Every structure is written in C-alpha cells, then in structure tokens.
C-alpha cells in the first residue's frame, strides 16, 4: 500500500489548513469571551461618538450640549 494510509501529498496541506482553522476559532472565541456584553458596536458609547463629532466640527457646541443632556437623561 503506497502512502501507508496517510493523506499522501495533501497531508501537510490539510494539516496546515486545520491548524489555521483552529487558530482562527481560538481567536474568535477569546474575543467573544472578552466582551463585556456591551450593546454598542465595538464598545463605543454614544457620548464618545458625540465628542468625536464635536471635535471634527460636524456639530457646534450648542448642539453638543443639547444632545449630551438628552443622552444623560436616558
């Protein structure tokens, strides 16, 4: 029997693919377990987004204050 019951030429390649899949699954599992159950995407809070918009000049300070008050009330 040629190959002795191994996968032949593709044995090494399949082993690398399996290893890559296991590493990716491990990284995904660790990232999933490390999340604090935050409801906001990627942990960004509404006030942080509001501050960034003010810094970029997308909103003026008056609008920032009005929106900040609304966010702090809810």
pLDDT tens per residue, range 15-27: 888 999 999 999 9
The pLDDT score that the predictor gives to residue 45 is 84
Lowest mean pLDDT among 4-8, 54-58, 66-70: 4-8
Domain boundaries, the chain: 10-39, 40-74
**Sign of the four-CA dihedral 50, 53, 58, 61:** positive
Q: Alpha carbon of 27 to those of 19, 22, 33, 34, 37: distances in Å?
A: 12, 9, 10, 11, 17
Q: Give the Cα separation of 22 and 27 in Å (integer).
A: 9
Q: What is the mean pLDDT of residues 29-46?
A: 69
């Amino acid at each position: 029997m040629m190959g002795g019951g191994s996968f032949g030429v593709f044995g090494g390649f399949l082993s690398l693919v399996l290893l890559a899949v296991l590493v990716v699954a491990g990284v995904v599992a660790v990232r999933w377990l490390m999340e604090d159950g935050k409801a906001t995407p990627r942990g960004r809070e509404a006030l942080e987004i509001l501050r960034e918009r003010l810094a970029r000049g997308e909103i003026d300070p008056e609008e920032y204050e009005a929106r900040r008050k609304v966010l702090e009330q809810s």
